[in-house]
A and B are shown apart, each in its own frame.
Chain A
Amino acid sequence: KAGVTQTPRYLIKTRGQQVTLSCSPISGHRSVSWYQQTPGQGLQFLFEYFSETQRNKGNFPGRFSGRQFSNSRSEMNVSTLELGDSALYLCASGRAGGAQETQYFGPGTRLLVL
């Protein structure tokens, strides 16, 4: 069974640009969560989608948004990029999003903002 895949793996953008990251969950998984990992702030929850609906959102500005498609694939978008958005963005999938459930993480997309 294929794991969680994320594309692209690496990305370089300049301030003010926007970026879209993609995540394909494990087949049969309907929940997709996004996390930002930085050396200073660690791992922080961005949002979670289930059946094309955002079910939970972290404490990030509105420049961070996401969506989920009917095949459970998810995208996240960051508009008006800032230097501080440089991070590893991790996507995780789960079957139904239960609290006891294991979340399976992808390899991440490393974003560098210049």
Chain B
Amino acid sequence: AQSVTQLGSHVSVSEGALVLLRCNYSSSVPPYLFWYVQYPNQGLQLLLKYTTGATLVKGINGFEAEFKKSETSFHLTKPSAHMSDAAEYFCAVRSLGGGYNKLIFGAGTRLAVHP
């Protein structure tokens, strides 16, 4: 069975500091991995995804993530936090064995950015 674990339900950083949001997954078949962001009272917006190929994936708003199969991780990073990055972030996994479009989400990490 597939699962996603996000370490840290709340992360707080200073503006300009490095953002690191952790995600570990469990999947018996090669996974497809996604990071979504949710702003208050809005739906989910895709930041980036890993399917095949290059393990370092670049997304929108300066975010990137690296797929590490040996560590079963897909951590999200951004070199310099901006106030507008404050939101909730969700890591998700999907695979061919998971049933078509069924995304399995982690519990989410709420990112706070302070001046």
Contact = CB atoms under 8 A, between A and B. Distances in A.
Nearest to B29: A99
Chain B CB count within 10 A is highest, among A31, A43, A55, A92, for A43
A56 B99 contact: yes
Interface residues of A, number: 28
Given A42-B107, A43-B90, A101 B101 contact: yes
Interface stretch (B14-22, B38-46, B64-72, B74-82): B38-46
Interface residues of B, number: 28
B8 to A, nearest CB: 15
B86 to A, nearest CB: 18
Contacts of B52: 100
Interface in A31-58: 31, 33, 35, 42-45, 48, 50, 55-56, 58
B24 to A, nearest CB: 16
16 contacts: A35-B103, A42-B105, A42-B106, A42-B107, A43-B103, A43-B108, A48-B99, A48-B100, A48-B101, A56-B99, A92-B101, A97-B101, A99-B95, A100-B32, A103-B46, A105-B43
